[in-house]
Structure 1
Amino acid sequence: MTFLAAEPNEQIAQISNYLIYSAMAVYTLAFFAYIAEWTFGSRSKVARTAAALTADDKAKDAPVPAQAGVAVQVKDGSGGTAVLEKPAAPKVVTRSAAGKRGDLPDGPGAAGGDQQGDMYGRIAISLTVLAFALHAAGVLTRSLSVQRAPWANMYEFSTAFSMVIVAGYLGFLIAKKNVRWIGLPLVTTVLLDLGLAVTVLYTDSSQLVPALHSYWLWIHVSLAIICGALFYLGFVGSVLYLFRDSYETHLMNGRTPGKVRTSIMERLPSASSLDKFAYRINAAVFPFWTFTIVAGAIWAGDAWGRYWGWDPKEVWSFITWVAFAAYLHARATAGWKGRKAAYLALFAFACFLFNYYGVNILFNGKHSYAGV
């Protein structure tokens, strides 16, 4: 199939830039709204609930009588009779005997917290939706300015990548999933990604070399963006799992974490929930990542006359595939759960990031056709 390359429309490209900057401004407002949600929610219902849980834990860990004391009657000075109890030998009941790690519930603030915290959370989500609309419009107008897919260089890939991340988050919210806790790290990451895109990675709108004007640009690269965005959500789940797991370990060992740490950790789901969240996303996305690599090989056969040439991008795509395959295999067969699995998942996503940034910047290959 032959594609006719149109000259870039610089006016539309400039509109795209304005839309991206506008989206960044609204994402910044959403960032502060998420901060307010965490701060005010943590100071009220979450903090009180966490304090109550801590007090309850101390009561469980305190020595309790094994049986009722022995009653003894004595006469008081007025001629009456008083009843005293002789204390029996105490029997210690610890928190570890009261329940297992998997029995710990989600933090009380994981779904939004109290009324005030929930109000700020709703404002943050509304701002995120508005920013996403501006962001998507910026990506669309970039595509219109060049009459092709808007992900042919690192700037375009970055803007599209962060857009799909936000789309995935909002999609979970629409599906009534409890993912409010992703909001703050998500908008922080999106702002960093867009900031890097408009400064270091920015590239003027331009056309590709003729060999790369193919419908596979829409299929292969769009799949890579979608897979990477969802892998990112799993990555956030794994990172937060490690923090929450450490917090729960302190509780299970009878130690009392600090107030600031408690208020933050109680805004997250339980470690078990976070572990399952990350695993389910990575397991669901992995088949699509496999097809992404296959689609890239087919496109390489059409464009360069070979399906696999050990290009740096091809090699690191395969390394990423192996890392995620090892993670899923370890979970399914070796019974790896918890911290070991989380570390392996983080390594797999680090491979994806290196394939995205490191390979394009540090290595030369056929995938360097668009420059930065």
Structure 2
Amino acid sequence: MVHVLAAETAIDQQMASVSDTLIIAMIFAYAIAMFLFAIEAAYGRREALKGGGLVMAGAGATVGAGAGPGGGTDDIKVNLRTEEPEAKASRHVLGSVALGVTVVGFLLNVAQIATRGLAADRWPWGNMFEFVVAICMCSVAAFLFAAIRYKARYLGTFVLVPVLLLLGVAAKWLYSEAGPVVPALDSYWIAIHVSAAILATGAFMVSGSAAITYLVARRTEFKRAIGERVSGIAAKLPSAELLDRISHRFIVLGFPLWTFGVIAGAIWADEAWGRFWGWDPKEVWSFITWVVYAAYLHARATAGWRGNKATWIGLIGFACLLFNFFGVNYLFSGLHSYA
């Protein structure tokens, strides 16, 4: 009791107020960026495709496992953007501004987390609200990396929509004032286990966004192949092959982090509760998520699965991740009910 009271009196209310203000500012910045990305996606021009021509999907094409929308392997002609490897998105001014505003939002996100930690004098991911905000920060960081490294600005809308939804849920329903953590989280392991989970989730968020975009692009290529007219945002997406690669690379990035997080969590559980594994719902679904992503990587490495088949496995893993995050916390009771 003395320890808890001491922690409560140590709260810097002024810093906590700054942190709360930054939440509104970063949501506003992300919303503007999402709006600008959406405009660029809908109206921005694309450069002419080089090395045009049609290739035979199912006859050595690497656009994905199956030319049809259902993942079959029929030999049909599919338009491929053969530019290497970024599909050459146009330098539309709105996209550049959107990227800049996203950077501003990201910096506000970092500042919000930092001021929250300083206000409470602890690691700032000790409850669901803080965890969501940290996940959004890592998701945006992963997107910015993809935008710079792979010229993947077209993922901006697909990433920022779930980020804004999560932040809205966090601000409306998950918010809690800066304060001490529950005793079980008062450990240096929170900086190890939870940080790994946050970083992995950020990578998986971008992978999931790229996978969903892949399905849209795959369907678009199929429509073009059968002579249907395609317009709107779908017409301006890059090749499905590129989106498949981006999704895969972020799973490759997130999987070892998730693996480390699961192992670190088991070690922490042994220290806190005297056992490595106790069939707690959060433990079970964390492991299920790990198994699905492991199956995804195994299928790509051994069976050579690409495109639709691999994408659906990755999306199942992403669904397990989201259920582990939201569903487990509110549908089951367990030792992780606070996290």
> What are the Cα deviations for residues 276-333 of structure 1, in whole angstroms up to 9, with x where unaligned?
2111221232122111100000001111111111111000000001111111111222
5+ residue gaps, structure 2? 55-73
Deviations 1:16-36 (A, max 9, x none): 110010111111221222122
Aligned with 1:314 (options 277, 283, 306): 283
1:119 and 2:97 correspond: no
Cα 1:207/1:157, change in 2 over 3 Å: same
Q: Quote the residue 1:332 is aligned against.
A: 301
Mapping 1:278-317, distance limit 5 Å? 278-317=247-286
1:256 to 228, 245, 264: 228
In structure 2, what is the Cα distance between the partners aligned to 1:280 and 1:171?
A: 12
How far, CA to CA, are the matches of 1:38 and 1:334 in structure 2?
35
The answer to whether residue 170 in structure 2 is matched with residue 197 in structure 1 is yes
Residue 177 of structure 1 aligns with which residue? 150
Structure 1 residue 269 displacement after superposition: 1.9
Aligned partner of residue 279 in structure 2, secondary structure: coil
Cross-structure match for 1:12: 15
Structure 1-normalised TM-score?
0.78
> Within 5 A, what are the aligned runs for 1:264-275?
264-275=233-244
Kindly tell me: are residues 107 and 243 of structure 1, through their superposed partners in 2, closer, same or farther at Cα, counting changes over 3 Å? farther
Give the deviation of 1:183 after TM superposition: 1.1
Q: Which residue of 2 aligns with 1:224?
A: 197
Paired position in structure 2 for 1:154: 128
Shift of 1:108: 12
User: What is residue 316 of structure 2 aligned with on the other side?
Assistant: 347
Please tell me the residue identity of whatever aligns with 1:120: L
Match in the other structure for 1:105 = 82
Per-residue deviation, 1:171: 2.7
Q: 2:120–2:180: 8 Å Cα contact kept in structure 1? A: yes
What amino acid maps onto 2:13 in structure 1? E
Please point out which of 113, 129, 139 is paired with 2:113.
139
Question: Contact 1:247 / 1:257 at 8 angstroms: preserved in 2?
Answer: no
Mapped pair 1:32 → 2:52: no
Q: Structure 2: which amino acid aligns with 1:40?
A: Y
Distance in 2 between residues matched to 1:312 and 1:24, nearest whole Å: 31
Please report the RMSD computed on the Cα atoms of aligned residues, expressed in angstroms: 2.6
3-state SS of paired residue (1:365): coil
> C-alpha deviations, 1:45-84, integer Å up to 9, x for none?
43x959xx8xx98xxxxxxxxxxxxxxxxxxxxxxxxxxx
What secondary structure sits across from 1:368 in the alignment? coil
Q: 1:108 to 1:274 in 2, by over 3 A?
A: closer
Residue 174 of structure 2 aligns to a residue whose secondary structure is coil
**1:179 Cα deviation from its structure 2 partner:** 1.2
**TM-score under structure 2 normalisation?**
0.85
CA distance in 2, matches of 1:210, 1:235: 34
CA distance in 2, matches of 1:125, 1:280: 21
Deviation at 1:164, TM superposition (A): 0.9
Structure (1 or 2) with the larger CA radius of gyration: 1
Deviates more, 1:344-353 or 1:271-280: 271-280
TM-fit CA distance, 1:106: 5.9
Distance in 2 (CA, whole Å) between partners of 1:121 and 1:369 is 39
2:86 touches 2:152 (CA, 8 Å); kept in 1? no
Amino acid at match of 2:107: A
Quick one: distance in 2 between partners of 1:31 and 1:259? Answer: 20
CA distance in 1, matches of 2:27, 2:84: 31
Deviation of 1:119 (Å): 0.7
How many aligned positions are there?
313
Q: CA deviation at 1:243?
A: 1.0
Deviations 1:186-238 (A, max 9, x none): 22222111111000111122212334211110010010000011011111111
2:25 aligns to what? 22
**Residue identity (%):** 43
**CA displacement, residues 237-268 of structure 1 (integer Å, 9 cap, x when unaligned):** 11111111111112223x122333xxx23432
Tell me if the contact between 2:207 and 2:250 (Cα under 8 Å) persists in the aligned partners: yes
Q: In structure 2, what residue type is equivalent to 1:248?
A: E
Q: CA deviation at 1:103?
A: 4.8
For the 8 Å contact 1:149–1:217, the answer to whether it is kept is yes
Matched ranges for 1:358-369 at <5 A: 358-369=327-338
Whole-angstrom distance in 1 between the partners of 2:177 and 2:293: 35
Tell me the distance in 2 between the aligned counterparts of 1:109 and 1:369. 42
1:246 to 187, 203, 219: 219
